[in-house]
């Protein structure tokens, strides 16, 4: 009896696997070719394409071998402060240099010829 996992995570993994397969075939690579280029086992490529779980590092190696690693920026874009946060931080941005503060209790420096 086969257990069917119809969770959103399983569906996402299956779709990712389908897309990886399509990309690999578009590049005319066998699973063995891709595994060799990525530095992973053929079984890892099979697992990824089948929607199975694997280590994140292996996924990154396969994406790099397929020339897709740069597209991760679209998946997880760099966050930027909200407009309100930008305004709040604006006043804290340094606009000019200041003189170094003297330490409390420290003597002023002199040439030494005042003795």
Query: Can you give the pTM of this predicted structure?
Result: 0.63
Q: Are 13 and 51 a contacting pair, CB within 8 Å? A: yes
| Residue-range domain boundaries for the chain | 8-68
- Tell me which CATH homologous superfamily contains domain 8-68: lambda repressor-like DNA-binding domains (1.10.260.40)
pLDDT range class, residue 102, cuts 50, 70, 90: low
Going by C-alpha positions, the residue among 31, 33, 56 that lies closest to residue 45 is 31
DSSP per residue, 23-57: HHHHTT--HHHHHHHHTS-HHHHHHHHTT----HH
pLDDT range class, residue 108, cuts 50, 70, 90: low
Going by C-alpha positions, the residue among 83, 80, 64 that lies closest to residue 72 is 64
| 73 CB-near residues (< 8 Å, 6+ apart) | none
Instruction: Give the model confidence (pLDDT) of 36-94 as tens digits.
Output: 999 999 999 999 999 998 999 999 999 999 999 888 888 877 777 777 777 777 766 66
Q: Which residue has the tokens 């699973």?
A: 31
3-state secondary structure of 115: coil
């Amino acid at each position: 009896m086969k257990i069917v996992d119809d969770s959103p995570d399983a569906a996402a993994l299956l779709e990712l696997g389908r897309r990886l397969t399509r990309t690999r075939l578009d590049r005319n690579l066998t699973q063995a070719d891709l595994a060799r280029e990525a530095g992973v086992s053929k079984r890892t490529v099979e697992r990824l394409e089948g929607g199975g779980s694997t280590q994140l590092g292996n996924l990154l190696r396969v994406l790099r071998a397929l020339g897709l690693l740069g597209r991760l920026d679209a998946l997880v874009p760099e966050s930027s402060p909200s407009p309100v946060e930008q305004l709040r931080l604006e006043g804290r941005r340094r606009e000019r240099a200041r003189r170094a503060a003297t330490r409390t209790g420290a003597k002023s420096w002199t040439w030494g010829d005042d003795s």
